[in-house]
Amino acid sequence: MASQGVAVLGPRGSGLTTEQSYELGSQEAVGDGKVGEILCLFLTQQDWTQWKTGGCFCRTDRGFHLFVEEKEACGEGEKRQLIRTPRTAQIRPVRLKNGNSTNTYGPGGKREETPSKPHTNCPAWNGTSHLALSIHQITHPQISAKSRVYATFCGNTRSSPSPTGYRLPSSSRSPAHFGSCAIGPHPGTNRGLVPEARSIAEYRRDCDDGIRPISPRQRDSAVLRVSPLSKTTPPINPPHASCSKEFCRTRDEIHFSLEPLLPAELDTPPFKEIIMVRLRDGMWLPAEGTATEYAEEVYYTTEIEGGKGLSLLCPTRKIKTRGHTLNASTVTLDVKAEFDGVISVEATHWAGALNKGPHFELFPDGRPPEAETKITKGDKGTTTLTSGSLSATIHPDFDIQFHSTDGAKRLTSLGSRSVGLAYNPAPSTPMQTGDMRDFKHYMFTQTTLGVGETIHGLGERFGAYNKVGQSISLWNADGGTSSEQAYKNVSFWLSSKGYGVFIDTPGRVELEVGSERCNRLQTVVEGQRLKWYLIYGPTPKDILKRYTTLTGRAGKVPSWSFGLWLTTSFTTNYDEETVNTFLEGMKARGSPVDVFHYDCFWMKAFTWTDFVFDSERFPDPKAQIARLKESGLCKKVCVWINPYIAQHGEAFKEAADKGYLVKRKNGDVWQWDLWQAGMGLVDFTNPDACAWYEEKLNTLFDQGVDAIKTDFGERIPTLDVEWHDKTIDPVKMHNYYAFSYNKVVYEALQKRYGADEAVLFARAACAGTQRFPLQWGGDCESTPEAMAESVRGGLGLGLSGFSFWSCDIGGFEGYPPPWIYKRWVAMGLLCSHSRLHGSSSYRVPWVIDDDDKSEEGCSQTLATWTKLKARLMPYIYAQAQTAVERGLPLSLRAMCIEFPEDPTSWYLDRQFMVGDSLLAAPIFEESGEVEFYLPKGKWTSFFSGEHREGPGWFKETHGFGTLPLYVRENSILVLGAETAVGAVYDYVRDNEVRLYQVKEGAAATLVGSDGKEIGVLEVGADGKLKDTVLLNGKISIKEL
pLDDT in tens, 497-531: 999 999 999 999 999 999 999 999 999 999 999 99
Q: CA nearest 589: which of 866, 958, 959?
A: 866
**Residue 762 forms part of a structural domain:** yes
Q: Is the pLDDT of residue 547 over 60?
A: yes
Coil, helix or strand at residue 254: strand
HSE value, Cβ hemisphere, 13 Å, CA-based, for 713: 33
Distance CA 234, CA 243 (A): 14
**Residue 720 forms part of a structural domain:** yes
Region 144-170: mean pLDDT is: 30
Distance CA 697, CA 748 (A): 7
616 in the same domain as 517? no
The residue range of the domain holding 474 is 280-350+372-536
**Residue 165 forms part of a structural domain:** yes
Q: How confident is the model at residue 597 (pLDDT cuts 50, 70, 90)?
A: very high
854 in the same domain as 802? yes
Q: Is the pLDDT of residue 97 over 50?
A: no
Q: How confident is the model at residue 859 (pLDDT cuts 50, 70, 90)?
A: very high
pLDDT value, residue 746: 99
393 in the same domain as 317? yes
Q: What angle do CA 798, 801, 802 make, to 5 degrees?
A: 60
pLDDT value, residue 205: 27
Number of residues in the chain: 1040
Query: What is the CA 716 to chain-centroid distance, rounded?
Result: 11
Peptide bond into 216 cis (omega under 30): no
Region 700-724: mean pLDDT is: 97
**Residue 912 forms part of a structural domain:** yes
pTM above 0.85, yes or no: no
| 965 membership: H or E segment, kind and range | strand 965-968
Choose one of 468, 502, 536: the last residue of a domain. 536
Peptide bond into 195 cis (omega under 30): no
Q: Is the pLDDT of residue 878 over 50?
A: yes
601 in the same domain as 689? yes
Distance CA 180, CA 194 (A): 9
Q: Is the pLDDT of residue 234 over 80?
A: no
Peptide bond into 774 cis (omega under 30): yes
- Out of 148-152, 170-174, 417-421, 661-665, pick the least confident: 170-174
Region 20-26: mean pLDDT is: 22
Q: CA nearest 535: which of 792, 887, 48, 201?
A: 887
Q: What CATH number is associated with residue 924?
A: 2.60.40.1180
- Out of 49-53, 560-564, 718-722, pick the least confident: 49-53
Choose one of 521, 536, 551: the last residue of a domain. 536
Q: CA nearest 765: which of 928, 554, 593, 583?
A: 554
Please classify residue 752 by burial: count the beta carbons closer than 10 Å to its beta carbon, then call 0-12 exposed, 13-18 middle and 19+ buried: middle
Distance CA 500, CA 536 (A): 7
Q: What CATH number is associated with residue 440?
A: 2.60.40.1760
- Total tally of structural domains belonging to the chain: 4
Query: What is the CA 155 to chain-centroid distance, rounded?
Result: 40
Q: Is the pLDDT of residue 239 over 80?
A: no
pLDDT value, residue 193: 26
432 in the same domain as 327? yes
pLDDT value, residue 871: 98
- Residue with more model confidence, 960 or 27: 960
Residue 39 CA: distances (Å) to CA of 59, 140, 222, 437, 488: 18, 12, 11, 20, 33
Residue 779 CA: distances (Å) to CA of 68, 312, 789, 825, 1032: 45, 47, 11, 17, 44
pLDDT value, residue 288: 82
Choose one of 162, 186, 215: the last residue of a domain. 215
**Residue 544 forms part of a structural domain:** no
Q: What CATH number is associated with residue 574?
A: 3.20.20.80
- Residue with more model confidence, 168 or 720: 720
List Cβ neighbours of 265 (8 Å cut-off, separation of 6 or more): 271
Residues labelled as active-site residues: 711, 714, 779
Q: How confident is the model at residue 428 (pLDDT cuts 50, 70, 90)?
A: low
Q: What are the phi and psi torsion angles at 350 (to 5°)?
A: -105, 110
Tens of pLDDT, residue by residue over 392-404, are 999 999 999 999 9
List Cβ neighbours of 967 (8 Å cut-off, separation of 6 or more): 917, 918, 919, 939, 940, 941, 942, 973, 994, 996, 1040
**Residue 65 forms part of a structural domain:** yes
87 in the same domain as 13? yes
843 in the same domain as 744? yes
Q: How confident is the model at residue 86 (pLDDT cuts 50, 70, 90)?
A: very low
Q: Is the pLDDT of residue 216 over 80?
A: no
**Contact criterion met (CB below 8 Å) for 313 and 298:** yes
Distance CA 899, CA 889 (A): 15
Sheet with 595-598: strands ordered across: 707-710, 636-641, 595-598, 564-567, 834-836, 808-809
848 in the same domain as 759? yes
pLDDT value, residue 1029: 87
Tens of pLDDT, residue by residue over 67-79, are 333 333 223 333 3
Q: CA nearest 838: which of 476, 489, 582?
A: 582
pLDDT value, residue 739: 99
Distance CA 861, CA 113 (A): 60
- Residue with more model confidence, 249 or 766: 766
Q: What are residue 1005's DSSP bridge partners? A: 1016
Distance CA 539, CA 900 (A): 7
- Residue with more model confidence, 195 or 1010: 1010
Region 994-1014: mean pLDDT is: 96
Mean pLDDT of the chain: 79
- Torsion sign over Cα 475, 478, 484, 489: positive
Q: Is the pLDDT of residue 28 over 90?
A: no
**Residue 866 forms part of a structural domain:** no
**Contact criterion met (CB below 8 Å) for 724 and 689:** yes
**Residue 759 forms part of a structural domain:** yes
In percent, the amount of the chain with pLDDT more than 90 equals 68
908 in the same domain as 793? no
923 in the same domain as 807? no
927 in the same domain as 856? no
Distance CA 655, CA 680 (A): 9
Tens of pLDDT, residue by residue over 768-827, are 999 999 999 999 999 999 999 999 999 999 999 999 999 999 999 999 999 999 999 999
- Residue with more model confidence, 707 or 105: 707
610 in the same domain as 486? no
Q: CA nearest 433: which of 317, 357, 508, 327?
A: 327
